[in-house]
Amino acid sequence: MKEASAFFDQLNQEYLAVHKAKETLFWSTYMGTSDDHAGFTAAEKRYKQFVADEARLTAVRRHLEAVDAASDGPQKRALQHGLRGWRQFFECNVVENAEARQLADELIEMESDLFARRKRLTLTHIDESGQRVPASLSTASANLLANPAGEARRSSHQALLDLESWVLENGFLDLVKLRNRFARAMGAETFFDFKVVKEEALTSTALFAILDDFEVRTRDAQTRAYDLLRRRWGADALEPHNLRFAIGGDVSRQFDPYLPFAQSLRRWVLSFRRLGIDFRGATLTLDLLDRKGKYENGFMHGPQPCYFAGETWHSAVINFTSLARPDQVGSGALGLNTLFHEGGHAAHFANITQNAPCFSQEFPPTSMAYAETQSMFCDSLIGDADWLKTYACSTAGETVSDALIQAKLEATQPFRAYGERSILAVPYFERALYRLSDAQLTIDKVRALARRTEKQILGLAVSPRPLLAIPHLLNQESACAYHGYLLAQMAVHQTRAYLTKKLGYLSDNPAVGPLLSHHYWAPGNSVGHHDTIRSLTGQAFSAEALAAECNRSVAEAWQEAQAKIEGLAERGAAAKAPPPLNANVRVVHGEEVIADNGASDEKMFTDFEAWIVSHYPVGTVAAEQ
């Protein structure tokens, strides 16, 4: 067992070295602070070669057999647990034949080239001032939501269609063909089938049994919402550049003064602290603002996975990003949502308390649905009426009114089904895409497939967010995994329903963080996603709570919101000085450090707010919560 223990310790260190090298270069190239794409590609290859190394899997199995035969005791059980984790890790990732290994390397090269060329692409649209300016995915999304000028919104949607055309014309279809060749070399029919098994331990048939059921449960709610929209705004409301604005654009503009982005850092930290979330000494680097050359989607990656080496705790090092434009209407709310979402990921990956880093990294065998459940639970809180009454505050110190919260529900609740079905459309498209033969993978056929899928699932000729403009499709890690978001939403609402029944309320409840940490976060991927749900709720995973949310009436949603507001008044103000996050936080803008909490959270808040106001002088600082 001594030999196995030495092997286990060495394996942990070897993995950390290749993981950190890859993640360091991932961050710098995706943040646009480095153009070392060749270096990142090489580091990515070394990582892929490590995790796909059949010899390491063989060695893990051999040492595990020796440990299994040893006398029972705490040391044996700990070593068994760790080696079983590594066995699961390598069995999920090992590429067992030379052809597949060669194709995997080709995929890395092709994706790296596509990513580098995508970074050089500049899209444009018309902003609030009527000027044509560069458009990122984030600013285009905010413009579609909140710009009252129809032609400006049309320009944003056209930018997304231009991106879709660029994707189709610049190698994506060749990437699909190569991914399918790789999947067939791995014994799967298509890359979609391969990824579903790898990511979620589900067959495509089992996955679509869940998705088809949800599609049926929410179809009528979407149809009713469209009928309502036509009555309110006319048939033009369903045009792709009008839909998001017609759903909630006016109320989003009314909310905008209460959600200034300068206050988002303060609100995120205080909210998480009051939830009892402890980051266990993690180091967090946050890059929160939009800029040219930066990857156009929020994400969290952890260069240093956390784990216990015996009794010694190795805390996580985590990077996460959002794409806020504080001078754009609607961007404050979108940036805040991303901050809570990626901050939820960070809380999860800072609290995995197993004895090897294989349990606490974000790639398979870590389920995407499991990981997204944690982040989407956290971002769900900022839509709750009691959270809004506590934190949504204007620069003049005015708290958002009950009437505006009610108006928001009236505008958005009928469209909950549409929102979830916008996620649902992606796996329907990707499954069909990867079923096409190489001869069928033409620009016209794939674009037509995207439009048919949008019509089938969304009932629209073109989606406000065209399917091929979604960045997840271009990256091997996130391709054919988008259904994880919907599975996570199902788990989120099941979790919310259980915790609300158990605790009475969620926002600023100090019992929430410890419960999530114990049942969801601590096990890492040593426990399956559905098992974590059962551990907390005592129930099997179910889509019922999300389907019920999609089918709720406005009156029912408002009644629940009123109960939350009344409950907030009954329990009084949240603690002004809750326990600290127990994290070392740096906020950066590229290579510039904007603020950190080395002295105190308060100094970090004020430094961040001052920097935002100096760079986006539009009155973005609100009263302290």
Does the structure show a pLDDT above 90 at 576?
Answer: no
Which of the four pLDDT bands, split at 50, 70 and 90, describes residue 621?
Answer: very low
Range from 109-113, 369-373, 496-500 carrying the lowest mean pLDDT? 109-113
Position 338, amino acid: T
Burial class (CB in 10 A: 0-12, 13-18, 19+), 105: middle
Range from 142-146, 292-296, 374-378, 406-410 carrying the lowest mean pLDDT? 292-296
Which of the four pLDDT bands, split at 50, 70 and 90, describes residue 575?
Answer: low
Does the structure show a pLDDT above 90 at 586?
Answer: yes
The pLDDT of residue 137:
86
**Is residue 395 left, alpha or beta, with left meaning phi > 0 and alpha meaning psi from -120 to 50?**
alpha
Does the structure show a pLDDT above 80 at 250?
Answer: no
Distance, CA of 89 to CA of 524 (rounded, Å): 12
In tens, the pLDDT along 167-209 reads 999 999 999 999 999 999 999 999 999 999 998 989 999 999 9
The pLDDT of residue 97:
85
In tens, the pLDDT along 544-553 reads 999 999 999 9
Contact 217, 543 (CB under 8 A): yes
- Give the bridge partners for 304, in sequence order: 317
Does the structure show a pLDDT above 70 at 574?
Answer: no
Query: What average pLDDT score do residues 377-389 get?
Result: 96
Does the structure show a pLDDT above 60 at 584?
Answer: yes
The pLDDT of residue 622:
46
- Give the bridge partners for 592, in sequence order: 589
Distance, CA of 219 to CA of 424 (rounded, Å): 11
Distance, CA of 374 to CA of 368 (rounded, Å): 10
Which of the four pLDDT bands, split at 50, 70 and 90, describes residue 330?
Answer: confident
The pLDDT of residue 252:
77
Distance, CA of 403 to CA of 400 (rounded, Å): 8
The percent of residues in the chain predicted with pLDDT above 90, rounded, is 81
The pLDDT of residue 368:
92
In tens, the pLDDT along 109-162 reads 999 899 889 988 999 999 988 999 999 888 898 899 889 999 999 999 999 999
Q: Higher model confidence: residue 129 or residue 625? A: 129
Contact 52, 98 (CB under 8 A): no
Q: Which of 174, 178, 172 is nearest to 104 (CA)?
A: 178
Token pair for 371: 């990981």
Which of the four pLDDT bands, split at 50, 70 and 90, describes residue 618?
Answer: low
The pLDDT of residue 625:
52
In tens, the pLDDT along 80-99 reads 999 999 999 999 999 878 89
Distance, CA of 323 to CA of 255 (rounded, Å): 19
In tens, the pLDDT along 426-475 reads 999 999 999 999 999 999 999 999 999 999 999 999 999 999 999 999 98
Contact 75, 9 (CB under 8 A): no
Q: Higher model confidence: residue 620 or residue 326? A: 326
Distance, CA of 272 to CA of 513 (rounded, Å): 8
What's the sign of the alpha-carbon dihedral 370, 140, 417, 422? negative
Query: What average pLDDT score do residues 502-518 get?
Result: 97
Which of the four pLDDT bands, split at 50, 70 and 90, describes residue 37?
Answer: confident
Distance, CA of 412 to CA of 390 (rounded, Å): 21
Does the structure show a pLDDT above 80 at 570?
Answer: yes
Query: What average pLDDT score do residues 353-373 get?
Result: 95
Burial class (CB in 10 A: 0-12, 13-18, 19+), 565: middle
In tens, the pLDDT along 285-297 reads 999 998 888 887 7
The pLDDT of residue 619:
45
Token pair for 517: 């940490």
